Structure 1
Amino acid sequence: MNAPGAPAPTLTRTLGTFQLWGIAVGLVISGEYFGWSYGWASAGTLGFLVSSAFVALMYATFIFSFTELTTAIPHAGGPFEYSRRAFGPIGGVVAGLATLIEFLFAPPAIALAIGAYMHVQYAWLEPRWVAVGAYGVFMALNIAGMRIAASVELVVTLVAIFELLVFMGVVAPGFSLQAFLRGGWAGRDTFSIASIGGIVAALPFAIWFFLAIEGVAMAAEEVHDPKRSIPRAYIGGIITLLVLAAGVMVFAGGVGDWTQLANINDPLPQAMKRVVGADSGWLHMLLWLGLFGLVASFHGIIIGYSRQMFALARAGYLPHVLARIHPRFHTPHVAILAGGVVGLAAVFSDGLVHIAGQTLTATIVTMSVFGAIVMYIISMASLFRLRRSQPDLPRPFRAPGYPWVPGFALACAVICLLTMVYYNPQVALWFGLMMAAGLGAYLLVRGTGETTSGAH
């Protein structure tokens, strides 16, 4: 706990609108490079288009609604703080734990994908050790200061966007609509009732296209002008990601047998290889610059998980050591390192852990999505609750179409959660056990460390 009368630790405001947009897109952009193609395995190309369209609509309505919360309560805890204000300490714990699971499980999946990309380029490199190196480099950059971290994030995000556009342009001559449509309904050429199951089962991988954009909320305490910058970053970010996701999915699926891309960590290089050959300079450029997309999300999500851990610890929900601020760089360095330990444990479980026959990457993608969906549900519930309980709370941005737009986002999230539990019961069980363990630990020590949250 803080010493009596001592101010709660706070973060320094250093971010502008363009940097915040870079974080919004960078948090997510690795989802355009890998992970999503696992959805093809169950839904097919056309079925996955349906899954993705549904999820895109959910995210668009969610972001317009979530922006109201982020601008009204610009706090490093993000969803944790919204839910704590709306539903009290228990609501804060549930939202905080769900957000932590989302942001702690996403980085090891991305780190393994970075390793897979490097292994394609240099076969002697062991993907897991590349992942370890990635954690070391980007935890150090995050500790070095938010201004440096945000500048690096913006640069790598811009390069990653450029590379996705290059990918689409290079593979366009090899695109075949017939190839994209072949077996497009879960292995069938025509839609049937059986296709619906595949479409629903693919929802977690469609969510991966957009997962973690809400992480901008965790940087809100470090924005110069959150009332102006946050709405612009969110709206610009979701539009950017919608365009990129549609282009990547369609072009990759139309260059040969898409089923061979459905269960691998590097679908874009493999798709490009079919068009330009294994020795093409274009392919080598994609492999190198494609790393920027993975790095952007990896780096950005470290920002997200560390701020969530910092905010929970500052409020007394986690050990207070996690709320320590580096005396020189003014960053939550202990939280950054603690999240890295969790991620590296997951990385070294690769090949050892299989749940319901899934690869480790597919499993931790699904686990991360479970955390996100629970957080979306409680965040939208918090919006409705705060509209009633705190009607005078200043809201620089108000959710358009209230209550229908946030209500639609809430309903979509509930549908996603129920279908994910049905199709992923073992992962759902592990997720539930982790949530229960975290909530139980809080209840055991309740009242021993909770403080008021920091800056508002």
Structure 2
Amino acid sequence: MHSNPSLNKVLRPVHLWALAVGLVISGEYFGWNLGWKVAGTGGFLIATVLVTIFYITFIFSYTELTAAIPQAGGPFAYAHKALGPLGALVAGYATLVEFLLAPPAVAFALGSYVHFLYPSLGVIPVAIGCFVVFTLINFLDIKESALFSLVVTLLAVAELLLFMGIVAPGFRWQNFKQDAMPFGWGGVFAALPFAIWFYLAIEGVAMVAEEVKDPQRTIPRGYIYGIVTLVLLALGVMFFTGGVTDWHKLASIDYPLPEAISIVLGKQNGWTKVFAGIGLFGLIASFHGIIISYSRQLYAMARSGYLPAVLATVNKRFRTPHIALLVGGGIGIIVVRFGNTNDAITLSALGALMLYIVSMISLLVLRRTHPNMERPFKVPLYPWFPWTALVLAVVCLIAIIWYNPKLSIYFFGALLVLAALFMAFRRKTHQ
């Protein structure tokens, strides 16, 4: 056990910015538009504003935890310190559901974008191929993986700015406000998981904390620069896309941005094909970043005894958790083969919200039980920011449960079974 090498500390603020934005940026390319289907443009705008307020308050609060406890387990480590083993189990389960089910949703979109460019290539084979290729890429040293993430994230951000510039002349206010709230306030709540998709997974930066140089200073910078970038991109993309045509045409597809450009410029225009091609960079950035994050979460939970110890094995040459990468990739391929984008997004959002709730409770508890703990970064306007994030997370969770009862039963049923097995095992080992 002692010969197992540690993770490599090489990441700087620019790498964390790229990872924070890259983890999430696919949410600007697809998935969010499904919110129009249940809420309309106006209802979804309200949902997005609520979720944006939540993520701003959450990230400032979460940064305090990440800088104070820079461990690969992220929320699992925070909950363990604040709430004990059972709290850590809940946080770890929620994190794994979020990060293991988000990549299949991105893989579906990658397959759809490639199919848009080359109709002879099927969506599912391309999605499975993406898991194979990017699992192998992540076998490399974290420094090479982070550099790859930086390059594709910069390309993805540049592309979204280009997209807004291309479609802005075609924006018509009457298109955006047409049938703006067809389902009233109920639609606003139904749209919350799709608004969350704009920002979901940004907290994955915490899972590379053990690979960061000077984490107490580097992590806050990476998080704050990242959330500012994402808020501007999310609101800009949603607003401009909603005004180029009758939004109903874009509400149910996995490639809304290329379709919006084709409406403005025409399907035969060269920019339409070019944009669809380089649009893959945004999806690749998220796909790549989330694979990094779930492998570190599996590694951290296995290292702490919550998962089989083999998942904590670190490759001696590249110092990456290669067994965790293989297992996570295998789960993703199974979900791609038998699941769908909508369910993957909803379950991932359920996991994320449970993680957010446990993390905010952990922050509030640690402030009370460990007042003298070193905190290189302190959340502003305490306790208003963490309490605002906690309340909004609970509201979003209730909304998703209300509109997705079957998936919620699966999610919470599995959690209860795991918790019961965990408590029974602990009692047996302590006898």
TM-score, normalised relative to structure 2:
0.98
Residue by residue over 1:68-101, the C-alpha shift from the partner in whole angstroms, topping out at 9 and shown as x without a partner, is: 0000000000000000000111010000000000
Partner of residue 356 from structure 2, selected from 376, 388, 393? 376
**Paired AA for residue 393 in structure 2:** A
The aligned counterpart of 2:155 is 159
**Counterpart pick for 1:423 among 403, 419, 426:** 403
Residue pairs, 1:354-393, within 5 angstroms? 360-393=340-373
Q: Which residues of 2 match residues 74-85 of structure 1 at below 5 A?
A: 74-85=70-81
Q: What is the identity, as a one-letter code, of the residue corresponding to 2:63? A: T
1:66 aligns with 2:65: no
Aligned to 1:212: 201
Give the counterpart letter for 2:360 in structure 1: M
Contact 2:19 2:150 in 1 (8 A): yes
Q: How far is the alpha carbon of 1:438 from its aligned partner?
A: 2.9
Aligned to 2:216: 227
Q: Determine helix, strand or coil for the equivalent of 1:348.
A: helix
The one-character-per-residue Cα deviations of 1:390-416 (angstroms, maximum 9, x if unpaired) are: 111100001111111111110110111
Contact (CA 8 Å) 1:316, 1:449: kept in 2 or not? no
Contact 2:174–2:243 (CA<8 Å) still a contact in 1?
Answer: yes
Alignment of 1:16-31 (within 5 A): 16-31=12-27
Distance 1:179 1:91 in 2: 47
Percent identity for Structure 1 against Structure 2: 52
Correspondence for 2:294 among 277, 291, 305: 305
Report the CA distance between 1:433 and its aligned residue: 2.0
Amino acid at match of 2:263: R
SS at match of 2:138: helix
Which of 86, 89, 96 is equivalent to 1:100?
96
- Which residue does 1:121 correspond to in 2? 117
Contact 1:220 1:226 in 2 (8 A): yes
The two structures, once aligned, show a CA RMSD in angstroms of 1.4
The corresponding residue for 1:178 is 174
Q: Which amino acid aligns with 2:375?
A: R
- 1:439 CA displacement: 2.5
C-alpha deviation, 1:440, in angstroms: 3.5
Matched, 1:342 2:322: no
CA displacement 1:23-53 (0-9 Å, x = unmatched): 0000000000000000001110011110000
Offset at residue 442 of structure 1 (A) = 2.8
Q: Secondary structure at the match of 2:115?
A: helix
More helix by percentage: 2
In the alignment, what sits opposite 1:32? Answer: 28
1:399-436 CA-to-partner distances (Å, cap 9, x unmatched) read 11111111111011011111111111111111112222
Deviations 1:77-130 (A, max 9, x none): 000000000011101000000000000000000001000000010001011111
- Given the alignment of the two structures, is residue 198 of structure 1 paired with residue 178 of structure 2, yes or no? no
Q: Does 1:273 align with 2:262?
A: yes
Partner deviation per Cα, 1:318-354 (whole Å, 9 max, x = no partner): 000000001111000000110111110010014xxxx
Unaligned runs of 5+ in 2: none
- Quote the residue 1:283 is aligned against: 272
Normalising by structure 1, report the TM-score. 0.92
Letter in structure 2 aligned against 1:25 = V
Does the Cα contact within 8 Å between 2:35 and 2:195 map onto a contact in 1? yes
Name 2:127's counterpart in structure 1: 131
Looking at structure 2, the residues matched to 443 and 319 of structure 1 have their Cα atoms a distance apart, in angstroms, of 17
Please give the alpha-carbon distance, in whole angstroms, between the structure 2 residues aligned to 1:330 and 1:449: 32
Is the Cα–Cα contact under 8 Å of residues 4 and 314 in structure 2 kept in the other structure? Answer: no
Counterpart check, 1:256 vs 2:234 = no
Q: CA deviation at 1:136?
A: 1.2
- Of residues 127, 142, 167 in structure 2, which corresponds to 1:146? 142
The one-letter code of the counterpart of 1:195 is G
